[in-house]
Chains A and B, each alone.
Chain A
Amino acid sequence: SYVLTQPPSVSVAPGQTARITCGGNNIGSKSVHWYQQKPGQAPVLVVYDDSDRPSGIPERFSGSNSGNTATLTISRVEAGDEADYYCQVWDSTSDHPVFGGGTKLTVL
C-alpha cells in the first residue's frame, strides 16, 4: 500500500515561514490534500489538489508537489497556526485514501 511520510514536528518563530513536507513514491503524479487540526477539533481542509485553497483559507497557506515530495508552506506564521497538519492522497491501486502520519507545528 502507498505510504506517506511526514516529519513529526516543525518549529518556527512568528512571522517566519513554515514548510511541512510529505514524502511518497512519485507523489508528484498524485493530487495532494492538506488538513489542519487544532486540539479537540475536527480536521479542516487548507489546501487541495496540491496548491488550491478553499474559500476562507488565508493566502498565507500554499502548496507544491513535485517528484517524491509535496510541501505545505505557511508564510508569516501566526500563533493561531499552531496545529497538527496532515497530508492525504488517494492510492490508485486500491482506491483507498491514505493519510500521512501528521506534523505538529509549534510556533515558538
Chain B
Amino acid sequence: QVQLVESGGGLVKPGGSLRLSCAASGFTFSDYYMSWIRQAPGKGLEWVSYISTRGSTIFYSDSVRGRFTISRDNAKNSLYLQMNSLRAEDTAVYFCARFRLLLAPFDPWGQGTLVTVSS
C-alpha cells in the first residue's frame, strides 16, 4: 500500500538546523510531485514547499524561503527538507504528501514528524 514515513524531527535551538526525511513506498515515487506541509500546535495546515517529479520545479512559502531547501532522491524514493536558521515559529508537525500534478489534491499524507524550536 502507499506509504509515506517522515523522520528527522526533534528539539533544536533557535538558529539551528535540522534535516527531515520522507520515505515513500508502494508507488512509483518518480511519477509524483511531493510537498511538505506543516501544522503548528493547535493551529491549521500551512503549506511549506513542493518539488516536481525530477526536481526541476520548486516552490516555497514566503515564511520559509531562503531558509529551507527541499530536495528528492528518486533512486532512494525519498524526499528531504533541509531547515536552517530555525525560529520558534517553525515549531510544528511536518507532514509530507504526494500529489499528481498542479491542481491535484494531496493524497496520502505521512504521519508527520514534530519539530520543536526552543532554547
A-to-B contact residues, CB < 8 Å: 31, 33, 35, 37, 41-45, 48-49, 54, 84, 86, 88, 90, 94-102
Contact = CB atoms under 8 A, between A and B. Distances in A.
Interface residues of B, number: 21
Contacts, number: 56
B103 A88 contact: no
Interface in B37-72: 37, 44-47, 50, 59, 61
B109 interface: yes
Contacts of B106: 33, 35, 43, 45, 88, 97
B47 A99 contact: yes
B112 A45 contact: no
Contacts of B110: 42
Q: Specify which of A31, A43, A45 lies most central, judged by the most chain B CB atoms within 10 Å of its CB.
A: A43
Interface of B: 35, 37, 44-47, 50, 59, 61, 95, 102-112
Contact of B47 (A45, A54, A96, A101): A96
